[in-house]
Amino acid sequence: MCLGTSLTAGLGVDPEQAWPAVVQQKLGAAGLLYLVVNAGVSGETSAGALRRIEWLLRAPAAVLIVETGANDGLRGQDPEATRANIRGILERARRQAPPPKLLLAGMQAPPNLGDRYTAKFRGLFPSLAREQGIALIPFLLEGVAGVPRLNQADGIHPNPEGQRLVAANVWRVLEPLLVPGRNLAKPGNRATRLE
């Protein structure tokens, strides 16, 4: 499950162009039978994601990719509150039996909020990943943020080409979490939900 904001929902692009759909294509090409569920909601904060996680995990998930906090940073919210919300999401996910593999997507705050705030915000993701012992995508928008040709007119949301690069950022960290061979297509096997 890809829990996230408009960056995950694919605001401004066709659903099949959003990075979760591109990751689905990569899984298929690798022969891994997972179903990617895009649980992105435009405008959502980490507090909103925390409120939704109980409902989202009604069905077991094999992997939970957590992309939240971008809207917290845009609104200048306290990074410690964001950290607590993400920690709550991860703790809830670990109560699933069996627990999903967890992957956290790092985000950055806009520079107009000042060096102190942006450094604190950026640092919360790697420190939380270390604390929780989970995989980290250092910066979801690496190579895409601030590149006009890879973003829509708003300068925030990736265009289809940018979405493909975001998917590559995710795939570099996700692929090693998946065990090749265990999920390969075999007659009669059903896809495992990648949620």
* Domain coordinates in residue numbering, the chain: 2-194
Per-residue pLDDT for 105 more than 90? yes
Q: What is the pLDDT of residue 185?
A: 37
**Has residue 160 got a pLDDT over 60?**
yes
Angle of helix 79-94 versus helix 115-132 axis, rounded to 10? 20
pLDDT bin (cut points 50, 70, 90) of residue 59 is: confident
pLDDT at residue number 24:
98
Residues 6+ away with beta carbon under 8 Å from 130: none
pLDDT-derived band at 179, boundaries 50, 70, 90: low
User: Is the confidence at residue 76, as pLDDT, over 70?
Assistant: yes
**Does position 169 have pLDDT exceeding 90, yes or no?**
yes
Cβ–Cβ contacts within 10 Å for residue 30, how many?
A: 15
* Average confidence (pLDDT) over 62-81: 96
Task: Check pLDDT > 70 for residue 180.
Answer: no
Q: Considering the chain, what is the average pLDDT of its residues?
A: 92
Tokens of 109: 């705050």
Angle at 50 between CA 48 and CA 55, to 5 degrees: 95
Give the distance from CA 90 to its chain's centroid. Answer: 13
* CA–CA gap between residue 7 and residue 145 (Å, rounded): 11
2-194 belongs to CATH 1.20.1050.10: no
77 near 117, Cβ under 8 Å?
no
How many percent of the chain have pLDDT more than 90? 88
Our CA dihedral for 9, 15, 17, 18, rounded to 10 degrees, sits at: 10
| Element holding 103 (H helix, E strand) | strand 101-105
What's the rounded Cα separation, in Å, for the pair 73 and 106?
12
pTM score, whole prediction: 0.90
pLDDT of residue 79: 97
**Which residue numbers are catalytic?**
6, 154, 157
Q: Decide if pLDDT at 190 tops 50.
A: no
